[in-house]
Structure 1
């Protein structure tokens, strides 16, 4: 299941947000070796202070945080513009009210792996479904994001492969790419079909945020 938390409400959901930051540290610093800021076991950066929208996957049985991603409008500061632009020869900086940046995607370690009926990682699929639903309600056309090339195989498997805009052979610990994910009803249907997930996955309390995004669009 998915919950949605705005950055300015983090204190009201301290346990979930704390687990998210700890999961990010475990992935981005400990596993991938990225040069990220970790304080007392929690990874965060200045963009977490800009009221992003966190899409957080929770284990259906235990309620534990099992995955997360951070969404931000491209009309404000973005990692792509501020940090990663120097990695690419081509200008891939997109600024649009209908394109949001997706960053810090990770499936958190230390939890039993849950699979969909079609044997795909459930947290990954639920996050992708939620992103599509949020995007459609908010009037988005695309998400932009940085990813490592090996992730393309996973994106293809779940039915939501990005349009690759540029690649860099070396940045930090290895090659990266920047891509665009289309937000369409067809993409949502494809992800749901491949995952075998047809029920609502955003919990009731968080669904009001989706309705708010629709009203604000």
Structure 2
């Protein structure tokens, strides 16, 4: 079963947190070459703290994907790390969360699921399900151009709040991610179209989903 669920920062075991931070280093430092803090082969920062919740996608005991959530009124990457770029944007005080450090480990996903399993779209849907289940109104996040393209391709009706340049050539985007029923249905449709055995648990939280092997 593919299990997608949420945990608090202080609920992460030493083994699971080490795996999470190593995969983040592999994604954000090694592959994307972001300027992130790394130590002992792991990536973590000041926002990995007791205010944080993580979504984890686990299959056969292996971590496949994760994202980090912090309530928007608390210190986060939008209001602190990138404050100089987005301080002119009026953000809501309550009812919203900030997401960061979204990743899907492509190597593990391909090995365990094959080439065509819609793990990214399923994880987007999981983010919506989690947010709705916990009574949030929406999500704000900062993404790269590549991630913006992936989000738009999924059918999620994301809203670009502001575009900014962190270098002469590199742009980032402050987004609002709506979590209403319409966007949940859009992601459900995308996932169901790609799964060989669509399952009703896709609209629930947490998600526990059997994985069908790819046809030869």
TM-score computed with the length of structure 2 as normaliser: 0.81
Kept in 2: contact 1:72–1:102 (CA 8 A): yes
Report the Cα offset of residue 84 of structure 1. Answer: 1.0
TM-score computed with the length of structure 1 as normaliser: 0.81
Kept in 1: contact 2:8–2:50 (CA 8 A): no
Report the Cα offset of residue 174 of structure 1. Answer: 1.8
Report the Cα offset of residue 14 of structure 1. Answer: 2.8
Matched residue, 2:155: 159
Kept in 1: contact 2:29–2:36 (CA 8 A): yes
Q: Which moved more, 1:156-165 or 1:174-183?
A: 156-165
CA distance in 2, matches of 1:6, 1:148: 26
Matched residue, 1:28: 28
Count of matched residue pairs: 196
2:173 to 162, 177, 180: 177
Report the Cα offset of residue 172 of structure 1. Answer: 9.1
Report the Cα offset of residue 97 of structure 1. Answer: 1.9
Q: Which runs of 5+ in 1 are unaligned?
A: 205-217
Is 1:135 aligned to 2:136, yes or no?
Answer: no
CA distance in 2, matches of 1:125, 1:19: 22
Matched residue, 2:102: 105
1:138-174, CA deviations, whole angstroms, 9 ceiling, x for partnerless residues?
A: 2211100000112222112222142000001334982
Kept in 2: contact 1:162–1:182 (CA 8 A): yes
1:94 to 82, 91, 95: 91
SS at match of 1:46: coil
Going from structure 1 to structure 2, the CA distance change for 1:40 and 1:161 (only over 3 Å counts) comes to farther
Kept in 1: contact 2:122–2:187 (CA 8 A): no
CA distance in 1, matches of 2:121, 2:168: 28
Going from structure 1 to structure 2, the CA distance change for 1:198 and 1:152 (only over 3 Å counts) comes to farther
Q: Which runs of 5+ in 2 are unaligned?
A: 193-197, 209-216
CA distance in 2, matches of 1:82, 1:97: 17
Going from structure 1 to structure 2, the CA distance change for 1:137 and 1:203 (only over 3 Å counts) comes to closer
Superposition CA RMSD, Å: 2.3
* Correspondences of 1:1-217 after superposition (within 5 Å): 1-10=3-12, 13-59=13-59, 62-88=60-86, 91-113=88-110, 114=113, 119=116, 121-122=118-119, 124-171=120-167, 174-196=170-192, 197-200=198-201, 202-203=206-207
